Amino acid sequence: MLNSSEEASPKPRLGFLLRNARLLSKMKKVDKEEIEKFVNSIERFNRCVVPDFEETGGPMEEGMIYLMFNSENGMMPIDSVFRLFWVNSPQLRFSFLDSFFISTKFTSGRWEKKFSKAIFQTSKHNFHQEVHVDEFEMIFDGEISTGYSLYFVDRKNNISGHLKYDPLEDGVITYFNGKMALTPSIAQKAYDIFAIKVTGKIEVQGKEIEIKDGRGIVEHSLGIFSGYNIHCWRWLNLQFPEGTLHLFHHPITMGKEGIIEAGEGAALMEGKWYHFLRDEFKIEEIEYVHDETINTEIPVKWRVVGEPFDFIVKKKTHLSWGGNIGPTNEYIANYVLEADGKWKGKETKGSGTMEYLFHV
């Protein structure tokens, strides 16, 4: 197994600069007007579009795998959320792992490690992510059309499992209509598989749990990216008896040029796929508490509204920490949530998760 290094950082050497010279030049030249034009050009799709870049590779590769479950019955509502985030770049001789586990029933925790080499074994033919390091092991393999298998051991959070991830038909959003987003710090194509049924077995801090009807999310992007143009983001996933609502609000900061509103979302509810553009939904913060860990206020209650939904969302539990990319005053809070409101005028209740990144 590999040992990690706290001192590791991306190393853009000559080969990386030469291979990506044209793209890096475009990133350097892009301005606020061009970004706004791109954001405004995103069209609302009437049907789900499966990404054509599910295979792994690219100058940098980034992804997240979520497991959401009920610790008592392995079903619903969600009271526990496990997530692995990674960046892997052979060209930059760099990898990064970030894992958290948040629960109302178990001990919550989070850790991160940087590596001075690419540590993931990948495939050009399907979505295969395999890593074996001291803190963590994972083999994730499959395709959207056939589903995925996940084996993982997180020795820091003391959680492990063998699971099957079965994406529901049309349970994916391919961001930016499948085009590459370009800012001074990002050249990226991305998608989220946001509606996934998860089954299998896990062990959490000594307790074995059969996951009978859990939920998953898989996020994946390729390109070049850093966090320096992120103003904030709210990455929200809510699970209901009727289906799933998935929203991503991510304003872009251009320094003295100002902030560009950006965001996109989708839902798979009652068997139908919905697409939401940036001005078609709101995630409004309506109540705050002081967070002792990061010594600032964080939201704990929201109104999530759009057409055709209106929900009040509340924190069940959360975990917070200082950021590891971008400015030093960057903070992140991740939540286990409960939701109560209406979909198409009908009352419903749900649960889910959100990642909130912000600056103070």
The edge-to-edge listing of strands for the beta sheet with 309-322 is: 272-277, 263-269, 243-249, 233-240, 346-359, 330-343, 309-322, 296-306, 281-291
Model confidence pTM above 0.85: yes
Q: Return per-residue pLDDT of the chain as tens, 360 residues.
A: 544 444 567 777 778 888 899 999 999 999 999 999 999 999 999 999 999 888 777 789 999 999 999 999 988 999 999 999 999 999 888 999 999 999 999 999 999 999 999 999 998 888 999 999 999 999 999 999 999 999 999 999 999 999 999 999 999 999 999 999 998 888 999 999 999 999 999 999 999 999 999 999 999 999 988 766 777 899 999 999 999 999 999 988 887 788 888 999 999 999 999 999 999 999 999 999 999 999 999 999 999 999 999 999 999 999 999 865 554 578 999 999 999 999 999 999 999 999 999 987
> What are the φ/ψ torsions at residue 39 (nearest 5 degrees)?
-60, -40
Q: Provide the b/e sequence for 109-124 (b: ≥16 CB within 10 Å).
A: bbbbbbbbebbbebee
pLDDT score of 236: 98
Compute the distance between CA of residue 230 and CA of residue 326 in angstroms, rounded to an integer: 8
pLDDT score of 4: 44
pLDDT score of 50: 93
Q: Which domains does the chain have, with CATH numbers?
A: 14-359 (2.40.370.10)
What are the Cα distances from residue 332, in Å, to 25, 88, 253, 293?
A: 31, 21, 17, 11
Q: Under a CB-based contact definition with an 8 Å cutoff, are residues 236 and 354 in contact?
A: yes
User: Helix count (H) and strand count (E) of the chain?
Assistant: 3, 24
